[in-house]
Amino acid sequence: MKYDTKRRPHRDLETLVDYQLIRISERLEEGDCAGINHDMTACLLSLSLWAESLINLGGFSIFRERFKEKDSYHKRVEKILPNFDVNDIEKLREILAELQTARNSLAHPKPSNIEVTVHEGRDEFSVFDRDYRRLLNLDFLEKSNQVLEDFYFTMCEHPKVKDYGFIETAVQAD
């Protein structure tokens, strides 16, 4: 028996982010902070991947085969956003840019040598500090999640996206 299926990888990422945020919140409430930065980093990476999958969903839905997934992220964003009513989604562009920067820092880092100045205070200096670490806080993660959900629901209102948006299906093909 064969099935024609419609798979929604962006839904898997959305569910993963929701799970991670619930788990982070629970751990913080319990005072269980051992390794919480790792949990937040995993959530940040999941949010970053979800954001990119939404951009690709929009591009594929509207432009079909003419959509160039190999274009730079920022070029794809600028091509996709004008097709949706996103003016009411506060900080959408800013959050998309922040998530892409975090994605690049986490998934595509390059070895580097940096020059640092040592300070007296313990909290003023970290050789291993990375730019994305400033995003490792529950407020940013939850705000990003809300913005991506709003973007997703707005996208799914578009007639060309509705077919690809919400529902995963398997229909018998035989």
Provide the pLDDT for residue 44. 97
Q: Is 142 exposed, middle or buried (0-12, 13-18, 19+ CB in 10 A)?
A: middle
Pick from 50, 55, 49, 44: which is nearest to 86 by CA? Answer: 55
The 10s digit of each residue's pLDDT in 96-110 is 999 999 999 888 777
Q: What is the DSSP secondary structure assignment for residue 109, as one 8-state letter?
A: -
Provide the pLDDT for residue 164. 62
Backbone angles phi, psi at 40, to 5 degrees: -65, -35
Q: Is 92 exposed, middle or buried (0-12, 13-18, 19+ CB in 10 A)?
A: buried
- Pairwise CA distance, residues 151 & 51, whole Å: 9
Instruction: Look up the pTM and report it.
Output: 0.82
Q: What is the DSSP secondary structure assignment for residue 139, as one 8-state letter?
A: H
Chain-centroid distance of CA 64 in Å reads: 22
Provide the pLDDT for residue 168. 58
Q: What is the DSSP secondary structure assignment for residue 86, as one 8-state letter?
A: -
The 10s digit of each residue's pLDDT in 29-64 is 999 988 898 999 999 999 999 999 999 989 988 898
Which residues in the chain show pLDDT less than 50? none
- Pairwise CA distance, residues 146 & 17, whole Å: 11
Residue with tokens 């007639």: 159
- Pairwise CA distance, residues 141 & 150, whole Å: 14
- Pairwise CA distance, residues 70 & 72, whole Å: 6
